[in-house]
Amino acid sequence: MAFIKLNNIGKIYSTEGTLAIGIRNVNLEFDIGEFVTITGPSGSGKTTLLNIISGLDTYEEGELLVEGEPTSHYIQKDWEKYREDYISFVFQDYKIIESFTVYENIELALMNIRDPKERRKRTLEIINKVGLTKFMKSKGSKLSGGQKQRTVIARALAKESPVILADEPTGNLDSETSKEIVELLKEISKDRLVIVVTHSFDLFEDYATRNIRIANGAVEADDALRQKDAPTEVKKCESSNAKDDLKNSIILGIHKFFAKPKLAFFMTIIMIIGLVGLIFATAYFGFALKDQKTYVFTHIEGRVVISRTDGKSVTSADLNTLRIDLHADSCCLYDDLYDTIYYFNNGKHSLPDGYFKTSYDGKISKGRLPENDNEVFLSIPAYAKDEYGELGQIKTIYRTSYVVVGYRYYYDNMKSAQIVLTNEGFNRLTKSYYFERMSTQLVNAAYQTVYPTIQVDSTLSGNEVIVESNLQTPDYYHVGDDVTLRVSSNSLSKEETLQIKNIKLIDNDAYTYNVYISSEKANLLFTELAPTMHKQASLFFETDEDAQDVLPTLREKGYNGIVSNTTYVNSSAAVLNLVGRIGYIILWIVIVLFLALFIRLVFSRALAADKSDVAIFRSMGIKRAVIKKSMYTQVSISSLISIIVAIAFCLAMYLSPASEFLPFLPWWSYIVILCGVAFIVMRTARSFNKKIFGQSVRKNMGRGK
């Protein structure tokens, strides 16, 4: 029984609606030990016959039998298995992997050897056998025609397949090199089937055991030239297992990625641009996806804001009674600062909205929490670390000085800053806050008047006062003079006679001054005037649920109560806000789709550059699974590098002052974006694999760019 048998084989080509016969009614048999030449004029069907024997192309008529088994039912997957087991191919135009070295090209055929040391040893032996030792590290694109042909013959030798098919192996070589190639092919035909298509029969005449002449797509002659070697048992190429296939696919993918540095760089840059673009787009428009709540008061867990139903101010006695009766943890009579937004501005970068707190249980990045009434702890975004992060700095808040004793840095620049004070420090700042809102006049004996802001100086006592005076009004006040301090708040006004203890000269053209009074005098003025400006207070419980539970009791006692987690909706603003959010979401979707399509398109074009290489892999009989997974490995390397660079870039942005303008994204957003991009890339690779493996090898040859 012949090893390969062709029964009435016919091949028909269709080009732009025109049918052409490649070969017709071909009946041939081939056995191991034969050295067969196929000759004939150009276009007679020689290469077509060789492509059908190798499974690189299909046939439409007849039957091709391999070891007596028909192949007419084969699909592309079956032909690949056939080439893996039996075929090595030497092409006229070499079909060398141009981006691989000689060593890598030949090693491809030895992927079934599990031991790396044995694989290397065998590769070096074959390289030496074909005389390419000096060029083993040279890329295919740098070799001469003869060196390329030696490389592909060495690749065929390395595979040790029972069938070697050669299409014009000497067509582009000089006479001396051609003779060496012919002798090499003859040597390996002793225990294999070698079939050579050639126009130069005279080169093979002394070696071939048989010559087949093709004319007009049909066999014109089949002449035996000499006795063939006795046929031996057909040995399939050794096949690797699934574990080795995975390992080989990773190795091949790594080789492919680094063999084409320009293409790898291009793919990686495109991926980085896409990733950074998606991150920035999501950062800038992602807020529209969030559930934006507007609180009536600043939300502090367990806080309930109260006011009297009769409209009168809440007194300290009222609040203490409620605290005891309702078992509240604590209370605050003048709670305005809790609902006050403070804006830090150090001249370079503004911090996000700052909120005042008297408790803190989060992380401490530097220093400690405040212990005295003149100390403050700041929770601020990391980009402001260089400007605000020095311990011992003096921060002036509502004209009251505090020493910074600790910091917490965070990376979410959309998160509000926190200004943490002791209870005493909070009360101290509350007085400054109220005095700044009061109407204040300072009048001397000559009725000359300025409009300062009241500050407290603990070194003063009784009616003593220190006056700030700028250079424009140096003669208004003198040490020892009596002055009148008039302070008004809503409907109430107070007037105090004070004696100047000292004068501070300041260079200030804006007519803004301070007067410093004793703690005793400040407490007196605050106690009498503040209630007219403030009619609410706060009670604090352990949880919002506890705060909610006391509301009925508060109503019974004549108080209104609102838990600080209460939100409100402005109907007209809500409609505009909804329209704006929808617009932002649509814009975000458009940008995401554009970037996704951009990445997919570019990766598709980049992968198309590998078409011819993939076709060569397939012609060599490298497993389909190995080739496919190598493609995934190749794009995965590009993706991994891109992800590292993109994340490093974003981290650098968040750590730099520029992050003030880049909205923060939580960690899970990065995972979603990275998974989305990985899905696009892998889907592109899958589509490429599906398309290319759905076609015959011949159709893919020479199409990579």
Q: What is the pLDDT of residues 634-646, one digit of tens each?
A: 888 988 898 889 8
Structural domain including 359 reads 336-419
CA nearest to 699, candidates 605, 621, 619, 642:
619
Letter for the amino acid at 503?
I
CATH number of 165's domain: 3.40.50.300
Residue 248 near residue 111, CB atoms below 8 Å = yes
Tokens of 264: 């790898």
CATH number of 509's domain: 2.40.40
Predicted pLDDT of residue 471: 58
Reported as a pLDDT band with limits 50, 70 and 90, residue 292 is low
Q: Is residue 376 domain-shared with residue 467, that is, in the same domain?
A: no
SS3 66: strand
Reported as a pLDDT band with limits 50, 70 and 90, residue 11 is very high
Residue 448 lies in a domain: yes
Predicted pLDDT of residue 3: 92
Residue % of the chain over a pLDDT of 70? 92
Predicted pLDDT of residue 452: 87
3-class SS letters over 388-412? HCCCCCEEEECCEEEEEEEEEEECC
Predicted pLDDT of residue 445: 84
Instruction: For the chain, give the mean pLDDT.
Output: 86
Residue 213 lies in a domain: yes
Residue with token string 């732009």: 16
Residue 409 near residue 345, CB atoms below 8 Å = no
Q: Is residue 364 domain-shared with residue 493, that is, in the same domain?
A: no
Q: Is residue 392 domain-shared with residue 463, that is, in the same domain?
A: no
Predicted pLDDT of residue 705: 38
Q: Is the pLDDT of residue 442 over 80?
A: yes
**In terms of DSSP bridges, do strands 464-470 and 492-506 run parallel, antiparallel, or are they unpaired?**
parallel
Predicted pLDDT of residue 609: 82
Q: What is the pLDDT of residues 149-197, one digit of tens each?
A: 889 888 888 888 899 999 988 877 788 878 888 888 888 887 889 999 9
Reported as a pLDDT band with limits 50, 70 and 90, residue 511 is low
Reported as a pLDDT band with limits 50, 70 and 90, residue 470 is confident
Residue 190: CB atoms within 10 Å: 13
Give dist(CA 684, CA 636) in Å, integer.
12
Query: Who's near 79: CB < 8 A, 6+ residues apart?
Result: 55, 58, 71, 696
Q: Is the pLDDT of residue 557 over 70?
A: yes
Q: Is residue 634 domain-shared with residue 594, that is, in the same domain?
A: yes
Q: Is the pLDDT of residue 664 over 60?
A: yes
Reported as a pLDDT band with limits 50, 70 and 90, residue 130 is confident
Reported as a pLDDT band with limits 50, 70 and 90, residue 704 is very low
Q: What is the pLDDT of residues 561-598, one digit of tens each?
A: 999 999 877 666 667 667 777 887 888 888 888 888 88
Residue with token string 């009579």: 333
Predicted pLDDT of residue 105: 92
SS3 350: strand
Give dist(CA 103, CA 124) in Å, integer.
8
Residue 597: CB atoms within 10 Å: 11
Predicted pLDDT of residue 295: 84
Q: What is the pLDDT of residues 620-629, one digit of tens each?
A: 888 888 999 9
Q: Which residue has the higher pLDDT, 606 or 28?
A: 28
In 191-274, where do the E strands start and end? Answer: 193-197, 210-215, 218-224
Instruction: Among 391, 419, 447, identify where a domain stops.
Output: 419
Q: Is the pLDDT of residue 404 over 60?
A: yes
Q: Is the pLDDT of residue 519 over 80?
A: yes
Q: Which residue has the higher pLDDT, 573 or 469?
A: 469
Mean pLDDT of 549-571: 89
DSSP string for residues in 643-669: HHHHHHHHHHHHHSGGGGGS----HHH
Q: Is residue 406 domain-shared with residue 445, that is, in the same domain?
A: no
Residue % of the chain over a pLDDT of 90? 36
Residue 538 lies in a domain: no
Task: List, in sequence order, every residue forming a beta bridge with 65; answer none if it has no partner.
Answer: 5, 70
Q: Is residue 471 domain-shared with residue 602, that is, in the same domain?
A: no
Predicted pLDDT of residue 388: 78
Give dist(CA 351, CA 380) in Å, integer.
7
Instruction: State pTM to two decimals.
Output: 0.67
Q: Is residue 168 domain-shared with residue 77, that is, in the same domain?
A: yes
Query: Who's near 293: CB < 8 A, 6+ residues apart?
Result: 567
Q: What's the chain's length in residues?
A: 705
Q: Is residue 593 domain-shared with residue 483, that is, in the same domain?
A: no
Instruction: Among 532, 560, 593, identify where a domain stops.
Output: 532
Residue 323 lies in a domain: no
Helix (H) or strand (E) holding 124: helix 116-129
Predicted pLDDT of residue 328: 93
Letter for the amino acid at 321?
T
Give dist(CA 664, CA 611) in Å, integer.
41
Identify the sign of the CA torsion 109, 111, 112, 113.
positive
Q: Is the pLDDT of residue 601 over 90?
A: no
Give dist(CA 362, CA 350) in Å, integer.
23
Residue 331 lies in a domain: no
Distance of CA 481 to the CA centre of its chain: 71
Residue 564 lies in a domain: no
Reported as a pLDDT band with limits 50, 70 and 90, residue 703 is very low
Q: Is residue 389 domain-shared with residue 453, that is, in the same domain?
A: no
Q: Is the pLDDT of residue 368 over 50?
A: yes
Q: Is residue 42 domain-shared with residue 79, that is, in the same domain?
A: yes
Residue 425 near residue 370, CB atoms below 8 Å = yes
The domain tally of the chain equals 4
Give dist(CA 119, CA 699) in Å, integer.
32
Instruction: Among 384, 419, 454, identify where a domain stops.
Output: 419
Q: Is residue 78 domain-shared with residue 95, that is, in the same domain?
A: yes
DSSP string for residues in 515-577: EEE-HHHHHHHHHHHGGGT--EEEEE-SSHHHHHHTHHHHHHTTEEEEETT-B---HHHHHHH
Mean pLDDT of 73-82: 90
- Identify which of 63-72, 405-414, 475-484 has the greatest average pLDDT: 63-72
Q: What is the pLDDT of residues 212-268, one digit of tens each?
A: 999 999 999 999 998 877 666 777 877 778 788 888 899 899 988 998 888 888 888
Residue 636 lies in a domain: yes
Predicted pLDDT of residue 325: 93
Q: Is residue 70 domain-shared with residue 206, that is, in the same domain?
A: yes
Residue 182 lies in a domain: yes
Tokens of 536: 């609410």
Letter for the amino acid at 664?
F
Predicted pLDDT of residue 282: 83
Q: How far is CA 440 from CA 444, 454, 496, 514, 575, in A?
A: 14, 8, 11, 10, 43
Q: What is the pLDDT of residues 372-394, one digit of tens each?
A: 999 999 998 887 777 777 898 88
